[in-house]
Amino acid sequence: MAGPLLRMDAIEKSFGAIRALKGVSLALERGEALALVGDNAAGKSTLMKVLSGAVIPDRGRIFLEGKPVAFRDPQDARRLGIEMVYQDLSLCDSVDVGKNLFLGREPVRRIAGIPVLDDAVLYRRTAEMLAGLDIQVASVRLPVRLLSGGQRQAIAIARAVSFQPRILILDEPTAALAVKEVEKVLALAQRLKGQGVAIILITHRLQDIFRVCDRVMVMFEGENVAERSIAETTLEEVVRLIVRAA
Ligand SMILES: Nc1ncnc2c1ncn2[C@@H]1O[C@H](COP(=O)(O)OP(=O)(O)O)[C@@H](O)[C@H]1O
Ligand SMILES: [Mg+2]
């Protein structure tokens, strides 16, 4: 098929006097893993919120498989196969693993015509989904606040994956994790990429992009300042691009 899976073209967004995005363009191929890097406040999260429908851009266009699209909210983006896992995860802490995965779309069955929650199906499907992604938790009935940071991140990713996205955006998925947990989350991202999901990974852990990503895009003060194929760059060069010391 001709053309990229996704193209964002000259996206602009201001918050009051702050010009968070000053005309940023981005392309993503099918099944590609793109790293999005840059200093704090460079505009990475805002750009991805535009892509996931959480922020409405002031200007600019988005094309999916060459067709112009516009998102009014995250549901619009979800319908077209775009999911974002936020830095703060948006899980319900007091709710268990299974109910977090199925939040807002709990399976129901009917007893004498009256719909009742079908917990047996919910927990069985949760266990199947987690097994399919090689995610381990002690129990699908554990409130997520009792999980480790890495497990919580994995559950948030599993929830996003359950919508069968074509594009999965991960915003700093390893920022708050212990080293061993970082490995698991990276392995999960790699597995999803292997399944054909295109991934956009925002991270400050630059060593990770060399393991998971095909390409890196560098943002600086609301602009896309560089793009490199991972095979053709080095950690040192990416650092230089980020701080613009080159
Ligand atoms: N909802 C918002 N309201 C006001 N300013 C915002 C909002 N979201 C982001 N910003 C500002 O936009 C700029 C870019 O932020 P952000 O996209 O979060 O950067 P990054 O993810 O690269 O750290 C920052 O100056 C930030 O303070
Ligand atoms: Mg951010």
- 11, 12, 15, best to mutate for ligand 1 pocket (most atoms within 8 Å of CB): 15
**Which of these, 222, 211, 238, 226, lies nearest to 40 by C-alpha position?**
222
pLDDT at 194: 92
> How many angstroms separate the alpha carbon of residue 121 from the centre of ligand 2?
36
**Closest ligand 1 atom, CA of 13?**
12
Domain ranges of the chain: 6-95+165-243
In CATH terms, the superfamily for domain 6-95+165-243 is: P-loop containing nucleotide triphosphate hydrolases (3.40.50.300)
Mean per-residue pLDDT pooled into runs of 10, the chain (246 residues): 88 97 97 96 97 97 96 95 86 92 89 90 93 89 91 90 94 86 88 94 94 96 96 96 78
215 within 8 A of 230, measured Cβ to Cβ: yes
Q: By alpha-carbon position, which residue is closest to atom 2 of ligand 1?
A: 15
Report the C-alpha gap between 220 and 246 in whole angstroms. 13
- 11, 13, 18, 51, best to mutate for ligand 1 pocket (most atoms within 8 Å of CB): 18
pLDDT at 245: 55
DSSP string, 63-102: EETTEEE--SSHHHHHHTTEEEE-TT----TTSBHHHHHT
Say whether pTM exceeds 0.85: yes
> How many angstroms separate the alpha carbon of residue 128 from the centre of ligand 2?
32
Q: Which residues line ligand 1 (CB under 6 A)?
A: 15, 18, 20, 38, 40-46
Q: By alpha-carbon position, which residue is closest to atom 6 of ligand 1?
A: 15
pLDDT at 1: 56
Nearest bound ligand to the CA of residue 88: 2
172 within 8 A of 87, measured Cβ to Cβ: yes
Dihedral of CA atoms 129, 133, 136, 137 in degrees, nearest 10, equals -40
